[in-house]
Structure 1
Amino acid sequence: MDALPSHQHLSIPPALRLESALALLRHSGHGEPAGLPGSEPWLQELIDRLVDLSSRDPLTGLANRRYFEVALAREVDRVARSGESALLLVVDIDHFKRINDTYGHAVGDQVIRAVSEALAVTVRPMDLVARVGGEEFAIMLPNCPAAFGPQVATRVRHRVARTSVPLYEGGAVTVTVSVGGAFAQQWVRSSTELWMQRADRQLYRAKAEGRDRVCLEASAVSSVSVEEKVMLYGTSQFQDFE
């Protein structure tokens, strides 16, 4: 029997695709769109909910890593054009493996949700909070003056330290976080990867110095990396320079 053309193998009835989309919404806890099924407003709401679902972390409801990286790239471009200050914080739950090993993954998930809620209520509505890894979060703060950076990061750390997760058998789990941060390079064409790397280095320093602390890159840092020089000038003439 001759093989069917490839497009026939991939053909999916529209009704089946629509039902799959609705099933995905129901499974994720989202209700079906209101209104007359199949109408233009109903379809638009369905699309909006699917777009929102694709950008959210299912456990916490925060932005997921993919959405955060897209937003971070836009912020890098904005800072390069405007010269305004922007801060990136990376936040990691201290000794999270110990929590999972001691209390189980269900409690671990509760801890992640509790930390995510603490982060979300501590920053401004214009700031973007995301879960970017298992127990790691990131916060992008546009228009954040350098003088406010340490205050914001410390407030985040203190808010999490005041958060507790009750246990079924009594008692509660409290956690701390380590916070690293770096300001965007102003007037410099950079990348999300370089910005994240700089913030991550500060997070590693906070971990190495004992955890439950904030380490921020000095806001006065104005050095431009080789990669940023290449992006700025479109040439590799600087590759031999530090």
Structure 2
Amino acid sequence: MQLDLALQLLQQAGALLPEAEPYSEAWVQGVIDALCDLSSKDALTGLVNRRSFEMALSREVDRVARSGESALLLAVDIDHFKAVNDTYGHAAGDLVIKAVAGALNQVVRPMDTVARVGGEEFGIVLPKCAPSFGAMVAERLRERVSELRVEVASGQILAVTISLGGAFAPQWVRSSSLLWMERADRQLYRAKAEGRNRACLESQIESLVSAEEKGMLFAVTQQDSE
């Protein structure tokens, strides 16, 4: 019964079933792999979903704390997306989201993580990313999306732009994915306030340890001394 439900779920999601002999060991493993993939991916875009993105974010925060290497988080939002849905319908909105997802995925490195975190919002984690490279890649992402021309069902051609906010994870410091996301979101709000279709990145100086992170560091130090 559980297998039947799993097959039904995969069919509804449009996932391809393994080509092996049905109910063979290879076929069952293929079904399991397809379910794992389905649970970690956004159904509309094929990008990593929010749950998997938050896990990747937490892993990167820990890695930066241990290694001291630089890492950048980009928060991305499609500009004036509500107007697209209101004017052309949600099907047109889905086409825009898919087009933006594809454009973002074309620019980043294989080691980077691009996710759809909700609605018209995306998140990108760039490990081992120096500040100079971060500003360059953010601008490249913005430019790539601005080149898009998305044809919707009505035959209308839509131009698309995005706003981006970026923050660097504090190096050699125990932080949290929530604090990192808050920093990137603040820069995203700044990009929107300054007119949209732009990237605003937190400077490395602003990425110094926050009061919350000092508290986390002090708590860890106390535990180690006990």
What TM-score do the two structures reach when normalised by structure 2?
0.94
Instruction: Structure 1: give runs of 5+ residues left out of the alignment.
Output: 1-15, 238-242
Secondary structure at 2:170 match in 1: coil
Equivalent position of 2:217 in the other structure: 232
User: By how many angstroms is 1:155 displaced?
Assistant: 0.4
**What is the Cα-based RMSD across aligned positions, in Å?**
1.5
Partner letter of residue 81 of structure 1?
A: R
User: By how many angstroms is 1:31 displaced?
Assistant: 1.6
In the aligned structure 2, how far is the partner of 1:169 from the partner of 1:70?
A: 39
In the aligned structure 1, how far is the partner of 2:154 from the partner of 2:33?
A: 41
Equivalent position of 2:40 in the other structure: 55
User: By how many angstroms is 1:203 displaced?
Assistant: 0.1
In the aligned structure 2, how far is the partner of 1:39 from the partner of 1:226?
A: 56
Equivalent position of 1:21 in the other structure: 6
Which has the larger Rg? 1
Which has the larger share of helix? Answer: 2
Partner letter of residue 124 of structure 1?
A: R
In the aligned structure 2, how far is the partner of 1:126 from the partner of 1:183?
A: 17
Equivalent position of 1:190 in the other structure: 175
- List 4+ stretches of structure 1 deviating above 4 A: none
Equivalent position of 1:132 in the other structure: 117
User: By how many angstroms is 1:169 displaced?
Assistant: 3.5
- The partner residue of 1:154 within 123, 129, 139 is 139
Equivalent position of 2:187 in the other structure: 202
In the aligned structure 1, how far is the partner of 2:217 from the partner of 2:23?
A: 49
In the aligned structure 1, how far is the partner of 2:193 from the partner of 2:34?
A: 42
Q: Residue deviations 1:26-85, cap 9 Å, x none?
A: 111112222122222222221111011001111111001000000110000000000111
User: By how many angstroms is 1:224 displaced?
Assistant: 1.2
User: By how many angstroms is 1:88 displaced?
Assistant: 0.4
| Contact 2:169 2:207 (8 Å CA) reproduced | no
User: By how many angstroms is 1:236 displaced?
Assistant: 11
Matches within 5 A, 1:53-132: 53-132=38-117
| Contact 2:92 2:153 (8 Å CA) reproduced | no
In the aligned structure 1, how far is the partner of 2:152 from the partner of 2:74?
A: 30
Q: Residue deviations 1:69-120, cap 9 Å, x none?
A: 0011000000000011111001100111111111111101100000000000
In the aligned structure 1, how far is the partner of 2:154 from the partner of 2:47?
A: 29
